[in-house]
Amino acid sequence: MQRRNLFAGIAVTAVATLALAGCAGGNGGSGAGGSAGDEYDLVEAGTLTICSDIPYPPFEFEGGDNGTGYTGFDIDLLVAIAEKLDLELSVQDVGFDALQSGTTLQSGTCDLGASAMTITDDRKKNLDFSDPYYDSLQSLLVRTDSGIESIDDLAGKNVGVQQGTTGEAYAQENAPEAELVQYPSDGELWPAMQAGQIDAILQDQPVNLEHEKADSAYKIVEEYETGESYGFAFAKDEKDALLDAVNGALAELRDSGDYQAIYDTYFTAN
C-alpha cells in the first residue's frame, strides 16, 4: 500500500471508530451525545417524573427542601432512588383513582406512580409494580366521644373512604350496613371528618395515625391486618429497564441502611 493510501485508511478507520463510540454513548448513561437515564425511556430526559395523589401524609405532602415542592416517605425514598440513577426528581399531583387504574401511567404523564399504593392482583392487570417498599394496616378513626368502638358499630353511620382504595374495599366487605361516603383523597376526607360530615374514616393506619397525633379529639379504635404492601407502579409492560433499575436502587438503599434512616424519619413505635 502506498503511503498516501495508508494514511487514508487510518483516517477512515478512526472516523468509523468515533462514530461507533458516539452511537454507544447515545444509548444510555451520560456519555457523549446522551443524557442520564436515556435507557429508561423517561418522560423528560435526565428526570424521574412521578405521579402521586397529594396530600396523603406521612407518605406525600407539600413542603420539604428537595426542590420538588413535596416531601414525605414516598417522596424522600424516591429522591434517594433518583440519586442512585443519576436523575433529578419531578412530582406531578394527580387523582388516585386514575393512577391506580393505570390510566394516568398509560397516558405517559409520568414514569411511575408513588402514592402509598397497595400491590393487588386486580391492579397488576393494568400495572407493573416494583418490589414492596412498605407494609401497611387498615384502621378506623373516630371522634373520641362518638361511642364507636369497633367496625361492628358502623351500621347507619357515615364512613369516609378514599375512592378506589383497599380501605374502601375493606369497608364494603366488612361494614356492609354503613353508609360509605367516597372522597378523592385524604385532603377531603380529613376536613369532612373535622366538619362532622362523616362519623369515621377507614383508611391506611399510618395516615389515620397522623390525624390522631394532630388532634386529641380523634382516636384509632381498631386496626386491621390485611397483608398489604405498597409498591411503585409502572405502565404495564412499558418500563422494564426503569423497573429493574428502581428495584436495584431500592435494594442498595436497604443494604446501606439509608432506607431505614428515611423510614425512621416518618415512622416510630406507637
Flag whether the pTM goes above 0.85: no
Q: Domain residues for 154?
A: 136-229
Q: Is residue 139 within 8 Å of residue 203, measured between CB atoms?
A: yes
Residue 144: CB atoms within 10 A of its CB come to 13
pLDDT-derived band at 2, boundaries 50, 70, 90: very low
Is residue 53 domain-resident? yes
Query: Do 122 and 78 sit in the same domain of this protein?
Result: yes
H helices present in the chain, as ranges: 3-26, 73-84, 96-101, 103-106, 121-124, 166-174, 186-194, 205-214, 240-256, 258-266
Per-residue pLDDT reduced to its tens digit, 46-74: 999 999 999 999 999 999 999 999 999 99
CA within 13 Å, CB half, 112: 29
**ω before 58 within 30° of 0 (cis)?**
yes
Query: Do 180 and 53 sit in the same domain of this protein?
Result: no
For the chain, how many structural domains are there in total?
Answer: 2
Query: Do 45 and 171 sit in the same domain of this protein?
Result: no
Query: Do 81 and 156 sit in the same domain of this protein?
Result: no
Q: Give the β-pairing of 158-162 and 200-204.
A: parallel
Query: Do 114 and 129 sit in the same domain of this protein?
Result: yes
Q: Give 179's strand partners.
A: 158
Query: Do 141 and 164 sit in the same domain of this protein?
Result: yes
Determine the pLDDT at residue 5: 39
Query: Do 198 and 255 sit in the same domain of this protein?
Result: no
Is residue 43 domain-resident? yes
Is residue 5 domain-resident? no
Is residue 14 domain-resident? no
Query: Do 129 and 242 sit in the same domain of this protein?
Result: yes
CATH number reported for the structural domain that contains residue 159 in this entry: 3.40.190.10
Query: Do 113 and 78 sit in the same domain of this protein?
Result: yes
Residue 140 has which C-alpha cell? 378506623
Determine the pLDDT at residue 141: 98
Is residue 120 domain-resident? yes
Q: Give 204's strand partners.
A: 138
Query: Do 119 and 177 sit in the same domain of this protein?
Result: no
- Answer whether residue 7 shows pLDDT above 50: no
Determine the pLDDT at residue 38: 83
d(CA 179, CA 171): 10
